[in-house]
Amino acid sequence: MSDTKKTEKIVGVKGMNDILPADAPLWELFENTVHTVLKSYGFQQIRTPIVEPTALFARGLGAVTDIVEKEMYSFTDSMNGDELTLRPECTASVVRAALEHNLTYDGPKRLWYSGPMFRHERPQRGRYRQFHQIGAEAIGFSGPDIDAELIMMCQRLWDDLGLQDVRLELNSIGNAEERNKHRADLISYFEQHAELLDAEAQKRLHSNPLRILDTKNPAMQEMVNAAPKLLDYLGEDSRAHFEGVQKILNHNAIPFTINPRLVRGMDYYNRTVFEWVTDQLGSQGTVCGGGRYDPLVEMFGGKPTPACGFAMGVERLLELMKASGEKFTPNQCDVYIVHQGEPAQLQASVVAERLRDAGLDVVLHCAASAGIGSFKSQMKRADNSGAAYAVIIGEDEIAKGAAVVKEMRDAEGKQSEVAFEGIADYLVDQIVGDDHDHDHADHVHYHH
């Protein structure tokens, strides 16, 4: 390798994004809000590995799905030849873990997960190769009540996040037997309209015709709209279950529309399926999808165990939050400490620690490659940090035993002299004020 090669910049993998400090506060706000809502419904967190045996997804998701056909990052472990895959979704992993650790031995479990997923797709707005999902899985629950609960939990979350343009689409895809009857009729319907099927649809005609209903091809919409509807094939139990879900949603004034064409990408779904969609994100408008997957545990070798869950796409939801126009840029700290000379630097380090003891967020100015810098350049840093106060310590302050405390957000730049021992009390008073319930560790001040 030549020297020029060695010094060439290495850039990240296409479709896999860095989340930069400017965006981190929005992620944190989002994640905290989701965690709080999940907790308020009694869901417990589970963390599974990012790498799983390839067979888990191949068997769980179904061979004729976008994910398994063309989107998985699969590789052979060079150490032992194991076939492994970066998880493209997490339901299969959660079910594997629940089974492996017999989590439902003492009753059904409400679980949630959060983290990166990997799919080899064409990167575009709202579609990445590493993206993030937060999802919930209710394992061992059989009734329409949990389906409705999951949906209502999502609704609460959108409300708490201030998202208004997200609407619920609902459908039931029945059980395997009902789908088989429908499938036969669907195939003959599509065969009658063979001239309208695109290449993708022709490929799916006999392997997974239900997915043709899911097509995004505008030229096929009319034909697909008039196709036999699975809803008309539901037996009594499936219909009662679906009605049960709707009854609870109606009773709680959760609006929804029934979309008879709604199917989900994975083979393991049955009965209730739902998606939360928005018109604000272009063609990547689905922000959350879920449904019931009663057959999955058994497919993985467990006892028949009904279950239901959903996964939301974090990037898409964050984009929706940004579209609302609100700014989510918190200040880096409450207090920025500047200093000049060694005695001042030593005193500044002590003051910084005392302020942190008192629960404040403090940035202590530190030397960079250009050195510690003049007071003027340090004050510029203080300003950029968004700190409400700067503490200034130089030779004079050391002599007096008191620092200068400057109000950064005050037009006149009001300054006070405060003895070193009193600074923590003084600043807590100023910053937290008479907000008695204020929890220091949690406080975040946002620029608006």
List binding-site positions for L-histidine: 89-91, 119, 133, 137, 264, 268-269
Q: Which is nearer to ligand ATP, 121 or 185 (CB)?
A: 121
Does 316 engage in binding with ligand ATP (CB under 6 A)?
Answer: yes
Provide the CB-side half-sphere exposure for 312 (13 A, CA): 28
Please, what is the minimum distance in Å from the beta carbon of residue 54 to ligand ATP? Answer: 17
Stretch that binds ligand ATP, among 43-51, 279-287, 325-333, 366-374 (CB under 6 A): 279-287
User: What is the helix (H) or strand (E) element at residue 421, kind and residue range?
Assistant: none
Helix ranges restricted to H, 105-258: 144-161, 176-192, 199-204, 221-225, 236-251
Does 313 engage in binding with ligand ATP (CB under 6 A)?
Answer: yes
Stretch that binds ligand ATP, among 18-26, 147-155, 174-182, 283-291 (CB under 6 A): 283-291
Q: 32-45 burial string, b = 16+ CB within 10 Å, else e?
A: ebbeebbeeeebee
Q: Which of 111, 311, 382, 403 binds ligand ATP (CB under 6 A)?
A: 311
Please, what is the minimum distance in Å from the beta carbon of residue 26 to ligand ATP? Answer: 16
Does 131 engage in binding with ligand ATP (CB under 6 A)?
Answer: yes
Does 244 engage in binding with ligand ATP (CB under 6 A)?
Answer: no
Q: Which residues contact 86 (CB under 8 A, 6 or more apart)?
A: 50, 51, 72, 73, 74, 118
Q: Which of 286, 332, 345, 430 binds ligand ATP (CB under 6 A)?
A: 286
DSSP states of 86-116 as a string? E-S-SHHHHHHHHHHTTTTTTS-EEEEEEEE
Provide the CB-side half-sphere exposure for 401 (13 A, CA): 3
Does 133 engage in binding with ligand ATP (CB under 6 A)?
Answer: yes
| CA-to-CA separations, 190 to 58, 80, 201, in angstroms, rounded | 27, 46, 9
Stretch that binds ligand ATP, among 174-182, 237-245, 280-288, 435-443 (CB under 6 A): 280-288
Q: Which is nearer to ligand ATP, 133 or 172 (CB)?
A: 133
Does 355 engage in binding with ligand ATP (CB under 6 A)?
Answer: no
Q: 60-99: which residues touch ligand ATP (CB under 6 A)?
A: 89
Q: Which is nearer to ligand ATP, 110 or 129 (CB)?
A: 129
Does 318 engage in binding with ligand ATP (CB under 6 A)?
Answer: no
Does 128 engage in binding with ligand ATP (CB under 6 A)?
Answer: yes
Stretch that binds ligand ATP, among 29-37, 154-162, 308-316, 348-356 (CB under 6 A): 308-316
Count of residues interacting with ligand ATP (CB under 6 A) = 18
Q: In what order do the strands lie in the sheet with 270-277?
A: 44-45, 109-118, 130-139, 307-313, 286-292, 270-277, 167-172, 257-258
Provide the CB-side half-sphere exposure for 85 (13 A, CA): 24
Q: Which residues contact 424 (CB under 8 A, 6 or more apart)?
A: 354, 355, 357, 358, 360
Does 220 engage in binding with ligand ATP (CB under 6 A)?
Answer: no
Q: Which residues contact 128 (CB under 8 A, 6 or more apart)?
A: 15, 16, 17, 121, 315
Q: Which is nearer to ligand ATP, 98 or 166 (CB)?
A: 166
Does 289 engage in binding with ligand ATP (CB under 6 A)?
Answer: yes
